[in-house]
Amino acid sequence: MSIENNNDGIYNLIAKEVNSTDKIFKPDFSQKTGRELLAFYLQTKFKQALAYDKKAEKSVIVSIKDDFISRFAKRLINNPQKRILIGITGESASGKSTICSEISKFISRFNQPVAIVKTDNYFNDISDLIKKYGSFDALRDNGYDIDSPQNFQLDVLRADLEAISHGDDIEIPRYLLNGTGISIPKSMLIKSNKIIIVEGVATMYEAIQDVFDIKLYVETDEEIRKERFISRAVNARNQDPENALKHWKYILDAGKKYILPSRPNMDIILNGDCNLPYFTQILEYLYTITNNFEKE
């Protein structure tokens, strides 16, 4: 099945849902029975979307935990006021930032408030170490394990995520990506919107991952990731190719050590090399079935 035909197929599914005469009346979400009805309805529709995606030439969804849909539905039924926390992780250059951006742009199209937290801002301040060794690269070459969980402010990150999930705005640190290693505490205001997307390599470290309602893991073939990483380092960040390759080797080892072990715990594994327009259409279909009810 070609990508173009697959997109056409999604459009047809969306049109079928919109024009269907077999719709339920919008449940009363303030009542538990109404939320239970919605959960049952959505589980059925989500399974239809998953079955369709499996037929695609490049499926968006690589795998999904068997109990995820029912578990997430139960969470919505029992605690509807809590913000929805979506965690996105994956090895470097897997496409997680792109996926995060696409989800955010899509949600914003429908005037749904969304907040984004990037866990790279929770790196420890290493400015003194960089001054000591002369540069970030020299620090790395002397054995500093950049992506190790101990080099993130995970206690601060967890406290912030718990606060924002219960409706509190937060002020998160800002890590400067200019080679200085400076972290400025409480310098970025993040609103406690209904949907909060948290993205980065530290998102699913063991101390953090249980706070999320939806855990997404983005994966892509290693050769594609290498090409993306080197291209970005050389063309966008002005690194020399030799140093970019050296850093790639570190990133590859760190990913296998710190990120890949979280994969079995993820709710959904996404294809980071999927066709983005098709990915957006899947999101549109899910939005349609979530909001397509009979008018009273």
In three-state secondary structure terms, 50 is helix
Token reading at 178: 């200019």
Q: Which residues fall within 8 angstroms of residue 146, CB to CB, at 6 or more apart?
A: 123, 140, 250, 254
Burial of 111 (0-12, 13-18, 19+ CB in 10 A): exposed
| Contact by Cβ (8 Å): 119, 200 | yes
d(CA 1, CA 7): 10
Give, for all 296 residues of the chain, the pLDDT tens digit.
333 445 556 667 667 666 766 655 666 767 888 778 777 777 777 887 888 888 887 889 999 998 888 888 888 888 888 999 999 999 999 999 999 999 888 888 877 789 999 999 999 999 999 999 999 989 999 999 999 999 999 999 999 999 999 999 999 999 998 889 999 999 999 999 989 999 999 999 999 999 999 999 999 999 999 999 999 999 888 888 999 999 999 999 999 999 999 999 999 999 999 888 888 888 887 777 666 555 55
